[in-house]
Structure 1
Amino acid sequence: METFVPPAHDGTLRVLGRSDLATLDLAPADVIEAVTAAVRALADGTSVNPRKLSVQPADQRSVSYAMLGRDGAREVVAIRASYRHDPHHDRTQLRHFTTLTLYDDRTGTPIALMDCGRIGSLRTPAVSAVLARECAPPNSRTALLIGTGTTARQALPMLVTALPELDRLLLFGTSPDGIAAVLREFAAHAPGRSVEVLPDLDALRTAAGEADIVIATAGPATPAAVEADWLKPGALAVLVGYGLAPSTFQQADRIIATSAAQMADTGTDMAFPDGTLRTADAELADVLAGSVPGRGSAEERILAYNSGLVVTDIAVGALLAEVAAAKGLGTTIPLWS
């Protein structure tokens, strides 16, 4: 067997900061394709997404996470590191940093070290769009988005890219600046298309009963809490952040998770009163691989639990790094020379 000899490496590393990544535009279709391929490859083991490691001091002033993974579609290995310092639970003093270090697993060379903020704002709504494409009821026309934060702002462009037949889009949020940002992002993607902004919680309840797809991305302070009996038969509810009451999880006909293990760790706010949590009926990777269907019937109410997968960070990060390198962006540092 011939011995693999990696290409010579000059000892440098491309570093991509927030300002570099902010200048890059990725088409929603390209992001959706990248995360779809990375998640599908989990089913055959070429993508690998182990559980994250975490550390926290006794006084809980900070929490740190490390996630190692491999995107089998692109053959890229990476580690994502996240550090959050919040000693007084005061947003004005919060410090939160995330980085992704990418390595090419075909050539054995490093690709880039990059800030993760832009990556998260793209991969999360892209995965929600994939879940909607695979699990929404047939002939879906109406979608409701709850929340206007960072991950919400690409949600509608991603969603209508995955499901172009959607013709009624509803939005509930409490931040005027956030609402304006969501509308601005969507107008840039789909000029001339409208989004209905819901004025209050009564309108939200009505909208939840009309929507084929509900995507909940709000923060923990949201007053929104859509109940299971508000949803019509066949509705798909995608849980990213907050905005759905526990009943939507507890009474769902079927639960699809991006990761059953991560859902078990982070979905405790959806548990029954006795503390038990339903297990996932299927994972998205198996749906994409065709081993299980996205839904069993048109009348099934489905809860899709969208927790972060490092393989999707890797897929989007590699895509951004590729475009940045082609444009000559970033700073090259002699890290290993």
Structure 2
Amino acid sequence: MTGTSARTDDKTLRILSTSDLAGIDISLTDVVDVVEQAYRTLADGRSANPRKLTVKPEDGHSVSYAMLGRDGVREVVAIKTSYKHGLDKSRDQQHYYTTLTVYDDVTGLPVAMMDCGRIGALRTPAVSALLARECAPPDSRSALVIGTGTQGRLALPFLLTTLRRLDRLMVHGTHPDGLVAVREQLHHHFPERELEVVDDVRTAAAEADVVVATAGQHTRAAVESDDLKPGALSILVGHGIAPSTLQRADRVVATSAAQMKVTGTDMADDNGNFPAVDAEFPDVLAGRVAGRRSADERIFAYNSGLVVTDIALGHRFAQLAIEQGLGTRVSLWQ
């Protein structure tokens, strides 16, 4: 499926705002399928996902990323930028801006520039769900999500999309509004499922087959390796699990070993070192390496997100937006 720009010399840029994208209906299954295709295409060598660039001031009050990539199936090139300010402040005082600009690599014309917030909010839990599908212990029945922010609110619905047999769904969080939002999202997508709010996160982790840590950096939650049951899968998206879950894991899976060393520095040992990554996730999905080798090994999975997944999902949103006539056309280059 190639780009969505008309095959003309139309160089106007379609701007898709937060509200434009919010009105687009897309199923969780559709999101998972798009993200999985992006990983498989990368594993086949048909896409490009260079290492991200990072800028961070000495005092750590902000962080900026720039990511360039190409999707070889959709034949589009895109650049994603991400800027977060106020990392030294509470969540409600932080500022976060992220954009994705997509170009049709067949016509050479722009497709769209869009707010990437919703794309990231969907892409990341979809990746966690795929990691769980491939790496969770057999017959997993329980899951714990740590954190109730953007990434925590859709974590359980996506997990249920790939692990339908989960029947104990737990969440740990300290923000009342966030807990309400987690419950609302779960009941929106799976109205028959019940949510269990847990206060003792380490006790809950000992009873969970899958632990997904999505909390912000100021969280007090710090699940240790010894808290995890044999065979448990721990997935790190944000914060909430301690470095021991990585350092003492029986097996380490990462969406990208290189990115883990760039963005996961708080999980390194006292000397700044990381254990060897046993498998990169694109190769797991491609069937080149096993996600899990035995039922009782504790697996640590690092979900850093690859820009090719943002590109594929962003392009899917652009297609839907163009079909619905959404967005504002701007003559940026005229």
Which residue matches 2:303?
306
Which residue matches 1:15?
15
Change (3 A) 1:61 1:306: closer
Q: Which amino acid aligns with 2:190?
A: A
Which residue matches 1:131?
131
Q: Distance in 2 between matches of 1:93 and 1:185?
A: 24
* Secondary structure, aligned partner of 1:112: strand
Change (3 A) 1:90 1:7: same
TM-score (norm 1): 0.92
Q: Distance in 2 between matches of 1:61 and 1:183?
A: 32
TM-score (norm 2): 0.93
Which residue matches 2:3?
none
Residue 315 of structure 2 is aligned to residue 318 of structure 1: yes
Bigger shift: 176-185 or 47-56? 47-56
- The Cα offsets for residues 62-85 of structure 1, whole Å up to 9 and x where unpaired, read as 543211001223222100122344
Q: Distance in 1 between matches of 2:91 and 2:284?
A: 38
* Secondary structure, aligned partner of 2:309: helix
Query: Equivalent residues in 2 for 1:178-189 (5 A)?
Result: 178-189=178-189
Q: Which amino acid aligns with 2:33?
A: E
Equivalent residue for 1:239, pick from 222, 236, 239 = 236
Q: Which amino acid aligns with 2:43?
A: A
Structure 1, unmatched stretches of 5+, are 1-5
Report the alpha carbon displacement of residue 60 of structure 1 after superposing the two structures with TM.
6.5
Q: Distance in 2 between matches of 1:165 and 1:47?
A: 33
Residue 323 of structure 2 is aligned to residue 336 of structure 1: no
Bigger shift: 131-140 or 89-98? 89-98
Report the alpha carbon displacement of residue 100 of structure 1 after superposing the two structures with TM.
0.5
Q: Distance in 1 between matches of 2:65 and 2:269?
A: 28
Change (3 A) 1:160 1:58: closer
Q: Distance in 1 between matches of 2:133 and 2:87?
A: 41
- The Cα offsets for residues 102-134 of structure 1, whole Å up to 9 and x where unpaired, read as 012233322100011111101010000010011
Query: Equivalent residues in 2 for 1:127-276 (5 A)?
Result: 127-198=127-198, 200-201=199-200, 204-276=201-273
Q: How many percent identity over aligned positions?
A: 62
Which residue matches 1:3?
none
Q: Are the aligned partners of 2:127 and 2:305 in contact in 1 as well (CA < 8 Å)?
A: no
- The Cα offsets for residues 8-49 of structure 1, whole Å up to 9 and x where unpaired, read as 222211100111111122101010011111112221221211
Which residue matches 2:70?
70
* Secondary structure, aligned partner of 2:49: coil
- The Cα offsets for residues 233-264 of structure 1, whole Å up to 9 and x where unpaired, read as 11110010111011111110000000000011
- The Cα offsets for residues 111-162 of structure 1, whole Å up to 9 and x where unpaired, read as 1000111111010100000100111111111111111000111111111011
Bigger shift: 217-226 or 93-102? 93-102
Q: Are the aligned partners of 2:10 and 2:109 in contact in 1 as well (CA < 8 Å)?
A: no
Report the alpha carbon displacement of residue 223 of structure 1 after superposing the two structures with TM.
1.6
Task: Report the RMSD for the aligned CA atoms in angstroms.
Answer: 1.9
Change (3 A) 1:73 1:178: same
Q: Are the aligned partners of 1:31 and 1:316 in contact in 2 as well (CA < 8 Å)?
A: yes
Bigger shift: 57-66 or 112-121? 57-66
Q: Distance in 2 between matches of 1:173 and 1:95?
A: 21
- The Cα offsets for residues 247-301 of structure 1, whole Å up to 9 and x where unpaired, read as 1111100000000000111222112223221121110000011100111111111
Q: Are the aligned partners of 1:264 and 1:279 in contact in 2 as well (CA < 8 Å)?
A: no
* Secondary structure, aligned partner of 2:206: helix
Q: Which amino acid aligns with 2:236?
A: L
Change (3 A) 1:49 1:168: same
Q: Which amino acid aligns with 1:95?
A: H
